[in-house]
Structure 1
Amino acid sequence: LMNFMLWMPFVSGWISVSGSESHTLEVRTGDEITLMCSNLSTRPTQTDWFRVVNRTKPHCISSMYESDGEVPFCDGFQNGKFEMSSNISTVFLKIKQVDLSDTGLYFCGFYINTHTVISTAIYLNVQVRLDVKGESDRIAMLTSVILGSLTGVLLLVIIGLVVKVRNLQTGTFSNLGCDDDVNYASVTIRPKAKRRELEPNVIYASTR
């Protein structure tokens, strides 16, 4: 909260903002909000809501004389989006379905002694609302697509490995049993020679 003083020309005289409260209200697009300001007048008087956008001159939104009186809206604010009301102590401005164009500084003023005196200044900061459900659905869909793609790639890799292993096994069996160019060597097993028996009384000599 801060106090400040501001004087600026307006069609009905001068706008005086003296000792008033100013604060920021952050909302999301689509919200319905109600701005409030304290009633500075103890008797019926003209009460107005203004809006300033990008530090331009104030634009009238609506006005009323008594709490139960008619509420005329100014040009550009006659679309049924704004509602102004009042009781003994407070003046209200309801804004339905706020959007980014509603961002700006709002003043509640009372016409007192040829001046429009502002009791409250509210800066309305409208932010884009994130669609949580839509965002969650989008993330879930994206995750499903990614997982599906990874599963498909993994399946192709597994199929490729299986085919490769089968081809290797088929080639090995062919080399072992079906190659006509393989020459087989015949192996002849000779019987073991019988040992000659030495005759008795015979001398055997060998010469080199």
Structure 2
Amino acid sequence: MAWTWEFAGPEGRAWILHYANQVCRWEPPPPLPATGTGAPLLSWRQRIGWYERWPVRRPRGRRALPRQGRVLKAVDTDALCALYSDGFPWLRAHLDPEGMHYLVPDPSDFQWPGPEGTLLWECRVLVRMSDGEQVTSTVEVAPETFTALPSTVPRRRQRQLLHLGRALERDIGLWGRDHKDDCGPETCGYPPVEPAAP
């Protein structure tokens, strides 16, 4: 009911109150929690995990990713946009052009490579947007393309960034929704449109 109330608008809320008050005494629910922005506070378990083994765990009954898939890679904006099949022009216009973005294979259980291997690895991407905020996304990358990317991030920092990417609540879609009012040819050089899922 909280979701219906939150997105009903003034007319919808009046309708809900009218009919709910005929049946019983009803109080509107509190507002939905806002999505946090910026880096989340990591728990002590996550911080201790920086010193342990690689945080991407294989599902039960599956093989672990190969060694070259258990590494986080830093890429610039041009290299990141090249990984998307259509170039994703909306994303290119809103990424920090001088920012460093991070890419790591982190497939969900149903995307995990089977015994015969896979054509693509699902990778988690930690991107820096034009306003400096870090958000997360996913992209599918061929294993040989990922392996060819240079690895320059120290191992401890890789674990920190992976934990951060997994803890972030905001993805590119949420960032784009919140940025839509400020978007325009004069501000970010791109007309305001809904961001498509990468």
Q: Which has the larger radius of gyration?
A: 1
Task: Specify which structure has the higher proportion of strand.
Answer: 1
Task: Specify which structure has the higher proportion of helix.
Answer: 2
What TM-score comes out, normalization by structure 1 length? 0.19
What TM-score comes out, normalization by structure 2 length? 0.20
